[in-house]
Amino acid sequence: MREVRSTFSKSWESSLAGVVEGASFAKGMGKVRMTSCPTQLEWFGEFLQGAEYCKDYETRSNKAVPISVIVKVLDMIQEDASEAVNTNAHQLIKVGAFITILTAGSLQGYEGFFLYLGGIRKHLEKGKHGVFPENPNKMLLSEQEAARLPHVTLCLLGDFRGKSGTNYHMMALANVSQLGINTRWWIQELTRVAEAEGRLSGPAFASAIDDLDSSMDYDATFRLYLRQVQSEHPHLLLPEEDMTSMLPMVLVGLRTRQWRTEHNKLVLQTMFKMQ
């Protein structure tokens, strides 16, 4: 019933009556709007609570995508991109790079579109030939030692997690993760594709005419490869797994990080520090 309620409410907002009610009271990131939408009235909320109490309810939370599946998806996209030509190859590289930064940077999907092409091109060479400290078991590194580590810099421009308004944000990620995600390769390929399209600045995930790409198109490609992994590598993704229950791409980075945290039995406080 919650799905039906959500669908009806969204349809109401786009109707003539909903557009007339479009004014809202806003403070910060939150908005409060007066509406006469039946499914948003108090009586309907009480009806839902009563239905759950009398009939019980079933939760259908989305499942996180295991990191091993993400790695296999990226391998498949890389292989297909090497065999594709021009536009198709460029689009596959963008999708692969998008999945990579969401996973490696623990970003939510919309934050991936904040990646700023001019910034990553400017800092692309930093960390390319980085070195590890002499003592590999050293837990705390100085600022100078950390700056010399092999890394690639993500430069984001936008309202990043709603903390400080529109601003620049930089994230240093390992060139290659322990599980084999080659973040630097994907970022370098992304800049190469952008240059081939004649773009040197602006959003990194955009078309040749600087129109921002669609997250729905990216998600459709991502799910296509999930099904391919399920078909060809059932030991990674069981055949009985329902693809519709898998997370949409917009939440892959966030929830995959949580899956890694729980899988490796890290304490809850550690997970909060990773945010």
Same domain, 33 and 76: no
pLDDT band at 254 (very low <50, low <70, confident <90, very high): low
CA-CA distances (angstroms) from residue 265 to 138, 243, 258, 275? 22, 26, 10, 17
Residue 203 φ then ψ, to 5°: -65, 135
- Cβ–Cβ under 8 Å, residues 181 and 71: yes
Specify the range with the lowest mean pLDDT, choosing from 1-10, 43-52, 241-250: 241-250
Same domain, 31 and 102: no
Question: Quick one: CA dihedral 93, 98, 101, 103, positive or negative?
Answer: negative
Same domain, 182 and 229: yes
Distance between CA atoms of residues 130 and 141, nearest Å = 14
What's the structural domain count of the chain?
2
Residue 223 has pLDDT above 50, yes or no: yes
Same domain, 193 and 229: yes
pLDDT at 97: 96
The pair of three-digit structure tokens given for residue 139, joined into one six-digit string: 């837990």
pLDDT at 9: 81
Same domain, 94 and 52: no
Distance between CA atoms of residues 154 and 169, nearest Å = 8
CA-CA distances (angstroms) from residue 152 to 99, 101, 167, 183, 238? 16, 11, 20, 7, 34
Tally of CB atoms within 10 A around 144: 7
Share of the chain above pLDDT 90, in %: 32
In a domain, 130, yes or no: no
pLDDT at 26: 47
pLDDT at 164: 64
In a domain, 142, yes or no: no
148: three-class secondary structure by DSSP: coil
pLDDT at 23: 55
Q: How many CA within 13 A on the CB side of residue 23?
A: 1
Looking at per-residue confidence, does 226 or 5 come out higher? 226
Same domain, 104 and 199: yes
pLDDT tens by residue, 87-135: 899 999 999 999 999 988 888 778 889 999 999 999 999 999 988 877 7
In a domain, 156, yes or no: no
pLDDT at 30: 55
Specify the range with the lowest mean pLDDT, choosing from 12-21, 87-96, 165-174, 224-233: 12-21
With 0.85 as the threshold, say if the pTM is over it. no
Looking at per-residue confidence, does 238 or 99 come out higher? 99
Query: Measuring CA to CA, which residue among 220, 206, 212 is closest to residue 248?
Result: 220
Same domain, 107 and 207: yes
Same domain, 177 and 268: yes
pLDDT tens by residue, 15-35: 877 777 765 554 455 566 677
pLDDT band at 166 (very low <50, low <70, confident <90, very high): confident
Same domain, 49 and 77: no
pLDDT at 183: 95
pLDDT at 10: 80
Query: Measuring CA to CA, which residue among 274, 217, 178 is closest to residue 98?
Result: 217
pLDDT at 98: 94
Residue 250 has pLDDT above 60, yes or no: no
Identity of the amino acid at 149: L
Residue 177 belongs to domain spanning: 67-112+173-273
- Burial (CB count <10 Å: 0-12, 13-18, 19+), residue 171: middle
Name the average pLDDT for the chain: 80
Looking at per-residue confidence, does 65 or 228 come out higher? 228
pLDDT band at 204 (very low <50, low <70, confident <90, very high): very high
204: three-class secondary structure by DSSP: coil
Residue 2 has pLDDT above 90, yes or no: no
Average pLDDT over residues 40-51: 80
Residue 193 has pLDDT above 60, yes or no: yes
Same domain, 178 and 55: no
